[in-house]
């Protein structure tokens, strides 16, 4: 009985070692093939600032909300290889205010699960999430918008990068609802 338990222990140790070695090799070979992304296009033709209340807290005081419309073209298919499970792609706005010097807001996102869906072509796209300023105002503030990604592998670490970035875009003056 002792020799049978010893054999099972040896077999499971060998199987575990082989499996971990295989997974480490898969993870390491992922970095040998660089992802050469084609040039992408991103423009933000419409950026408006309105005074309003959050739809989640109607009792809160009025604050400034930014509304973004964008055009986007990108091909993320080079990010896919044998170890890519999915790619999380998101559009962010980076800006600074006197009170808060480093702000990053996710405006839009998408999960790409296969290379055949990796060509993104959004015309006149709208933001998916509230874009509000936690300080008093967006006045005299500019934002750069960037398309970023995270590759989620089957095995290994997440890798991230930036596809395209705009030049700084100034927020317009706040519009009242009656305007």
DSSP 84-153: EEEEEEEEEEEE--SS-S-EEEEEEEEEE-SGGG-EEEEEEEE-SS--B-SSS--TT-EEEEEEEEEEEE
pTM of the model: 0.81
How far is 154 from 82, CA to CA, in rounded Å?
Answer: 9
pLDDT in tens, the chain (179 residues): 678 888 888 888 888 888 888 777 776 666 666 667 788 899 999 898 888 777 777 667 788 889 999 999 999 999 998 889 999 999 999 999 888 889 999 999 999 999 999 999 999 999 999 898 887 788 888 999 999 999 999 888 888 999 999 999 999 988 765 54
How far is 79 from 161, CA to CA, in rounded Å?
Answer: 10
Within the chain, what is the greatest distance between any pair of CA atoms?
Answer: 87
């Amino acid at each position: 009985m002792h020799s049978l338990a010893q054999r099972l222990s040896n077999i499971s140790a060998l199987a575990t070692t082989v499996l971990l070695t295989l997974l480490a090799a898969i993870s390491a070979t992922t970095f040998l093939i660089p992802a050469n992304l084609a040039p992408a296009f991103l423009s933000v033709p419409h950026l408006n600032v309105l005074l309003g209340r959050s739809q989640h807290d109607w009792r809160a005081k009025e604050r400034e909300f930014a509304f973004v419309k964008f055009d986007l073209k990108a091909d993320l298919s080079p990010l896919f290889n044998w170890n890519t499970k999915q790619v999380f792609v998101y559009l962010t706005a980076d800006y600074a205010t006197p009170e808060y010097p480093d702000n990053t807001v996710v405006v839009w996102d998408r999960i790409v699960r296969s290379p055949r869906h990796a060509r993104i072509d959004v015309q006149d796209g709208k933001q998916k999430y509230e874009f509000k300023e936690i300080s008093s105002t967006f006045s005299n503030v500019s934002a750069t918008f960037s398309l970023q990604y995270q590759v989620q592998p089957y095995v290994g670490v997440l890798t991230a990068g930036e596809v395209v970035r705009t030049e700084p875009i100034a927020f317009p003056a706040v519009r009242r609802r009656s305007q």
